[in-house]
Amino acid sequence: MKHVALIPAFNEEETIREVIIHIKKYPHIDIIVVDDGSNDRTAEIAKKMGAIVLQHKTNKGKGEAIKTGFNYILKKHKAQYTVLIDADMQYHPSESVKLLKILENNEADFVMGIRDPRNVPYANRMGNFIWRTFFNSLFGAHFRDTNCGYMALNRRAIEKVKNIHGGYIIENAILRDVIKNKLRYKQIYVKVRYGKRKIRKFAKMFFGIWIFILWEGFKYRLGVK
């Protein structure tokens, strides 16, 4: 049974080859790269490496790239399980098999990674604690990490997860749909690496995610669609 590694990518020519090399170690996983309007060699390299490449003419954001990938899988690919991988090597591609295994064993419809707090910058760690606490309280969930970008979904979950937003709220938007559609979920530890973070950028991310959780959480509590 074929699986899919879905890779949204924007100007990732420096790392896309390495990501694909690691995934190609697992012949049962097809590789789909959604090139989100890159102006470098991302698409060219991915094609030469044998990946299926879907291209946006202009940069639309990661959320739209994920939607493009999901639509392609539902309409033109028969894979039952899809793992969502970043193109920048922040998460190691070889760990995708751990997430997919949980789906294969029918333990969940949706799997999200858990980052070891010791490997997460302090500001992000504190933000994660606040986001997770509010999300779990408002949605009645039990997630241990609500902002990990390493995720896997079975076909049913891809059909149900429709309201994918862009920017920093992608993960929480997906989790909202997971809860609203009563999908079975599970989490597993994954490795992560971080580069330098800008305080101003983090502040914008913090409040953007927090406001989204509050707004959608209260709507969920009130039964507003």
pLDDT at 197: 58
Instruction: Give per-residue pLDDT as tens, 40-93.
Output: 999 999 999 999 999 999 999 999 999 999 999 999 999 999 999 999 999 999
Edge to edge, the sheet with strand 110-115 lists 52-56, 29-36, 3-9, 81-84, 151-154, 110-115, 185-190
pLDDT at 198: 57
Distance in angstroms (rounded) separating the CA atoms of residues 139 and 141: 5
Distance in angstroms (rounded) separating the CA atoms of residues 87 and 8: 7
Kindly give the parts of the chain with pLDDT less than 70.
Answer: 1, 195-200
CA end-to-end span of the chain, whole Å?
A: 36
**Residue 26 per-residue DSSP state:** S
The model's pTM: 0.94
pLDDT at 53: 98
Half-sphere exposure of 163 (CA within 13 A, CB side): 13
